[in-house]
């Protein structure tokens, strides 16, 4: 049963819920639309100690991200070792970046060395925030990298690019793996570091980055190519393999099949609308003579040919 203090004409009475040790009411507030109420509820749950541990662990499965975040924060404050495995599971499997990030920080707060290996795995997370949280948690746990490769992952996670550069060739593999980061500025920094290392692995990576979807990253890779040992003749070939953005050939084809002329208009040809207007006028006049359905039986085989031609035209525009 929810404590009466849960509802108020102004705002929820968090102190009343806290005094009543109403963990369920406080957990509900973690999903409140007001961020301040979310934060205060998480703080109140953390102050309840181990009494709140099991309800908070159950809340880690909540569909709302805000509830999971608040529950993790409270568990990090409580530091009950029963939350170790559930937090590790979130770090390894939750699809939300913020959830994995906060889970990493909470694992550091628990102070349990059993969290070290999962946190080391998280140093390879595709998201820089998660990597940073894992590195900070490992620092809290007084972890020391056992080899140069682990140290490279650790320095990359902290975005300590100076120290990463000092590692040298041992950092090539971790840097290449981190190129999958969604943040273009991080990929740019990695290209610059790889150009300074200049070994065979760095050369392959520089060639690969020439295909990056971000134009700034591709330009940095072009400038770094000489230092990486990439032959200048390879640059145009590598850049030509980049992902192409533009109109969808299938969309253009379908539009021309159903509304002849609109597919051309979609591709940017000004006369596409004129074609459509002419097509629509002919269709209406034919319906007056032949009835509502016969003109379509005649038109669709013809527009199918135009659809095929439009698909080919759109593909050519993509490849230009």
Write down the domain spans for the chain.
4-144, 162-240, 249-319
Q: Are 131 and 115 in contact (CB under 8 A)?
A: no
Q: How far apart are CA 306 and CA 257, in angstroms?
A: 7
pLDDT at 9 over 90: no
pTM (whole model) above 0.85: no
Q: Which fold has domain 162-240?
A: 1.25.10
Tell me the CATH architecture of domain 4-144: Alpha Horseshoe (1.25)
C-alpha closest to that of 27 among 45, 15, 14:
45
pLDDT tens digits along 224-274: 766 766 555 544 544 444 555 567 788 888 888 888 888 888 888 888 888
pLDDT tens digits along 148-183: 999 999 999 999 999 999 999 899 999 989 988 888
Q: Would the CATH topology of 4-144 be identical to that of 162-240?
A: yes
Looking at residue 7, its pLDDT comes to 43
Q: How far apart are CA 189 and CA 206, in angstroms?
A: 12
């Amino acid at each position: 049963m929810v404590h009466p203090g849960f509802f108020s004409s102004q705002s929820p009475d968090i102190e009343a819920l806290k005094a009543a040790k109403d963990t369920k009411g406080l957990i509900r507030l973690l999903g409140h639309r007001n961020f301040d109420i979310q934060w205060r509820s998480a703080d109140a749950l953390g102050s309840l100690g181990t009494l709140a541990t099991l309800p908070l662990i159950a809340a880690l499965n909540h569909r709302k991200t805000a509830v999971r975040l608040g529950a993790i924060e409270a568990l990090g404050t409580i530091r009950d070792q029963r939350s170790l495995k559930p937090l590790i599971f979130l770090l390894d499997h939750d699809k939300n970046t913020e959830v994995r990030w906060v889970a990493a920080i909470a694992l550091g707060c628990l102070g349990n060395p059993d969290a070290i290996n999962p946190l080391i795995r998280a140093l390879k997370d595709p998201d820089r925030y998660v990597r940073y949280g894992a590195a900070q948690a490992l620092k809290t746990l007084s972890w020391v990298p056992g080899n140069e490769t682990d140290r490279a992952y650790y320095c990359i996670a902290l975005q300590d690019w100076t120290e990463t550069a000092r590692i040298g060739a041992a950092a090539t593999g971790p840097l290449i793996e981190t190129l999958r980061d969604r943040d273009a500025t991080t990929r740019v920094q990695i290209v610059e570091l790889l150009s300074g290392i200049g070994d065979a692995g760095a050369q392959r990576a520089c060639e690969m980055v020439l295909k990056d979807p971000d134009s700034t990253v591709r330009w940095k890779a072009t400038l770094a190519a000489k230092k990486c040992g990439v032959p200048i003749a390879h640059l145009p070939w590598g850049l030509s393999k980049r992902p192409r953005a533009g109109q969808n050939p299938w969309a253009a084809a379908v539009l021309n099949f159903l509304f002849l002329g609109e597919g051309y208009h979609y591709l940017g040809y000004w006369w596409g609308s004129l074609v459509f207007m002419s097509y629509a006028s002919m269709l209406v006049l034919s319906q007056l003579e032949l009835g509502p359905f016969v003109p379509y039986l005649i038109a669709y085989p013809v527009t199918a040919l135009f659809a095929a031609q439009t698909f080919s035209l759109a593909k050519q525009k993509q490849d230009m």
